[in-house]
Amino acid sequence: MSTEKILSSDGLPLEVSLRKAERRNKIKALLLVAPLFFFILIIYVFPIGEMLFRSIDDRKITGMLPKTFKTMENWDAKELPGEPVYAALYEDLSYLKETKTYGKIIARLNYEKSGFSSLIKKTVRKINKFEEGNYKEQFIEVHKKWGQMAYMGALKRAAPKWTFAKYLKGVDLKYDPEGEIVQVPEDRRIHKILWMRTLNVALWVTIFCFVLAYPIAHLLATLPMKYSNLLMICVLLPFWTSLLVRTSSWMVLLQQQGPINDLIVMLGIASDDNRPELMYNVIGTFVAMTQILLPFMVLPIYSVMKTISPSLMRAGKSLGGTPLVAFYKVYFPLTVPGIGAGCLLVFILSIGYYITPALVGGASGTLISNTIAYHMKSSLDWAFASALGAMLLIGVLTVYWIYNKLVGIDNIKLG
């Protein structure tokens, strides 16, 4: 290779004139992708960033007790703080009383340590009577809790702008008064159960979908055109029906007086006065979600099977493999990319599934997404909802990562 500069016919170096010629195309290409780029930024990157941010944001209280927290920075939290901290606390609380905004810190502090509610209320009521100097004694006089390490320590823990408390809560952990991470009491450990149930449901739904989808996809790929088109419509039909309609039709089918229970009674599997509960529990969630997510498994597997030449199976047989051997040595390995794509898709979708478990799941069939919805709509603990959402996201990314390690993401084929 010569290192000499090659000149194009107008005397410019080839590289320069090439860049010049390509510039227009590059600008065009950029303009074409720009709307999509902004769209993704606005509807995807921004909300998720906001969610992650909200889940660790704890600046509200930081802003309301600014002086207290400032003076607490130099306090090692081994024994009660000195006068300056109490003086700052006095100033902050007086200001909050003046502006009548002290109500907002009560909930936050009470979450850190119960008992703060009465403590703050009582203190604020009497704060006008405080005299200058010796605030520490006066505080302890108003309420002896001000002289206890548990409360002062809790106050210090509320100081940082960022907190992972919501994430700990999401896996049934919390900070104890000494600032150590401990499990919540046994009777309040509900989130771990929810996570396990969610994973369990997602796993089984994926397995059921796979077992049902594989033969369907195979039929779709091998039947003559006129039958396979019909079958394809049957597979796609659920997509054209409202999700709500499909879920509620499952409710009709699965209810205790519904046709499926009638059939079970008719076949003598269960007696009439002892009809099995098929709904408002995990069974209902399994059945309805499997049906609803089935197309997401069928389509990727089908699109891979479609590309497998029938002559491969024939080759397998002509070389002496029984149909079974030809299937699992030749056909099945070639469908693995489709299976991977389908399983990943179904698993990820079912991990965050909401509407179906909400309707047919009952109490024992609700999943983590239902809890997120509850905290968004009812308890209004958006920070916690965000933390759970972020954990879900991390879970999905982990699944994706594991898949990538095991199978390789380039092997995914969606169509």
Binding site for another protein (CB under 8 A): 309, 311-312, 314-323, 325-326, 329-330, 333-334
Which CB sits closer to another protein, 336 or 373?
336
In contact, 403 and 410? CB cutoff 8 Å = no
Which CB sits closer to another protein, 3 or 322?
322
- Residue 249's nearest CA partner among 199, 211, 281, 287 is 287
Q: What is the dihedral of CA 333, 337, 339, 341, to 10 degrees?
A: 170
Minimal distance, residue 285 CB to another protein, in Å: 37
Residues 6+ apart with CB under 8 A from 267: none
Minimal distance, residue 347 CB to another protein, in Å: 24
**Per the structure block, which two tokens stand in for 231?**
């079958």
Residues 6+ apart with CB under 8 A from 16: none
Which CB sits closer to another protein, 364 or 411?
411
Which CB sits closer to another protein, 309 or 378?
309
Minimal distance, residue 279 CB to another protein, in Å: 44
Burial of 269 (0-12, 13-18, 19+ CB in 10 A): exposed
Q: What is the dihedral of CA 401, 405, 410, 412, to 10 degrees?
A: -70
Minimal distance, residue 356 CB to another protein, in Å: 37
Which CB sits closer to another protein, 27 or 325?
325
Look-up of token digits 């499909």:
246
Minimal distance, residue 321 CB to another protein, in Å: 5
Minimal distance, residue 336 CB to another protein, in Å: 8
Which CB sits closer to another protein, 334 or 355?
334
Which CB sits closer to another protein, 134 or 307?
307
Residues 6+ apart with CB under 8 A from 342: 209, 210, 213, 296, 297, 298, 299, 300, 301
| Residues 105-128 as b or e (16 or more Cβ within 10 Å = b) | bbeebbebbeebeebbeebbeebe
Minimal distance, residue 403 CB to another protein, in Å: 18
